[in-house]
Amino acid sequence: MLYMGRFTPPPNRDAEGPLSVHAYLYILDRFIIDTYEHSVTFSMVLCTQWVDKRLVWEHESAPTSIVYTFWVYVWSPRIRFSNTINAESTVYVPVHVDSDGIVMRCQVYDIIAPCSFDLSAFPNDVHNCSLSFSSINYGSHDIIFEPWITESEISSSEWKLLPSARALNVPQPSTGNISTVVVDLQIRRQPHLYGFRVYLAMRTSHLLLALTILAPESCRISLTYMLLLTTCLQHGFLATMTRSSTETPRILWQSSASVFLSLVTVCSSLLRSSFRPSKLINTLKRTLSVLERCILLSGVGLLVVILLFQ
């Protein structure tokens, strides 16, 4: 017999231990990562299942062994989300009740959760975010959640989402311990999609830097201008891509070093080309050339170290 579930006690009120509520979670393959607003938006199916002995009937003598009804007619734990910007139930599925008293209620939630994005390892950055849910009216002495989640890699054009779930007893000042399910979201950028946009410009600037070191005087000025233009464009692109980061990315420091080396090379080339021929001037030019090559080689060594420890 069904009843007005919201006004009834839990099914285990007279039992010795808390009611075991299985929570099955499935994150749908559509999500939005906003690194500027520091949030992740996704849809999740949450099915809760428990046993209510008050709903057991003899299905051999009954016309059916399964009943579908509205959620207001059965007891349910009534889920509340926390650590979210918004969590709204958008689809109400009829509650499944079978003759053994097993009740299953499924809901679809649209969730916006906060997530702090640190792009210091861009474009190989990995971010860990979490949200949680618990029952509104019942503590861990009444119900215990047992979460199960589909732990599959959910991919978009730019990101991978790896979800996991765990159950905790969280103490509350007024109600005591509350059984809480924590959903952990590991958000991993797919770096191969940035290979052309990020690494091509960086490798081009490194190649131009090597050519500038080895090139003769006649074509060094044109190479230095190309090097300066390439490194400035690369630095502007990386600064735009990572401007929402909470920390300065290592790749941006590397790009800044490339721009500085390019400026040193251009200034040195202009100084050498402006001197008039003389014995002293030729000596100064050779000295500048040696110093320039030493600075460039030191810069290349610094870039190699940054790449190795990135």
Task: Examine the pLDDT at 49 and tell me if it is beyond 90.
Answer: yes
What would the mean pLDDT of 94-110 be, rounded to a whole number? Answer: 91
pLDDT of the residue at 103? 93
Q: Which two tokens stand for residue 263?
A: 């400026």
What per-residue confidence (pLDDT) applies to 196?
Answer: 61
34: pLDDT strictly greater than 90: no
Residue 81 has pLDDT above 50, yes or no: yes
**Residue 242 scores a pLDDT above 70:** yes
Rounded-to-5 percentages of helix, strand, coil across the chain: 35, 35, 30
Strands in 9-85 per DSSP E: 19-34, 39-51, 66-69, 79-82
What kind and span of H or E run contains 13?
A: none
What would the pLDDT profile of 125-150 be if each residue is shown by its tens digit?
788 888 899 888 788 888 889 998 87
How large is the average pLDDT for residues 248-270? 77
Cα angle vertex 172, ends 163, 90, to 5°?
Answer: 45
Reported confidence tier of residue 50, pLDDT bands at 50, 70, 90 = very high
pLDDT, residue 275, reads: 52
Per-residue pLDDT tens for 150-186?
766 677 667 888 888 888 877 765 556 788 899 888 8
**183 or 230: which leads in pLDDT:** 183
Query: Residue 137 has which token pair?
Result: 């009216």
- Please report which confidence band the pLDDT of residue 104 belongs to, taking 50, 70 and 90 as the band edges: very high
Q: Rounded CA gap, 185 and 115, in Å?
A: 10
Confidence of residue 47 (pLDDT cuts 50, 70, 90): very high
pLDDT score for 252 = 79
Q: Look-up: residue for tokens 């618990």?
A: 134
pLDDT exceeds cutoff 80 at 278: no
pLDDT score for 22: 92
With bands split at pLDDT 50, 70 and 90, how would you rate the model's confidence at 299? low
Cis, peptide link before residue 123, omega less than 30° from 0: yes
Q: What mean pLDDT comes out for the span 232-239?
A: 80
Q: For residue 280, what pLDDT is reported?
A: 46
Residue 61 Cα to chain centre, angstroms: 54
Residue 165 to residue 127: CA distance in whole angstroms: 16
pLDDT surpassing 90 at residue 48: yes
* The pLDDT of residue 30: 78
How many distinct helices (H) and strands (E) make up the chain? 4, 12
Task: Give the separation between CA 260 and CA 257, rounded to whole angstroms.
Answer: 5
- What is the pLDDT, as a whole number, of residue 24? 93
User: pLDDT tens digits for 199-227?
Assistant: 776 777 777 777 776 777 667 777 777 77
* pLDDT > 70 in the chain, percent: 74
Which region among 28-37, 38-47, 153-162 has the lowest average model confidence (pLDDT)? Answer: 153-162
The most confident of the ranges 103-112, 141-150, 292-301 is 103-112
Provide the mean pLDDT of the chain.
77
Q: Which residue has the higher pLDDT, 2 or 287?
A: 287
Whether pLDDT at 7 is above 70: no
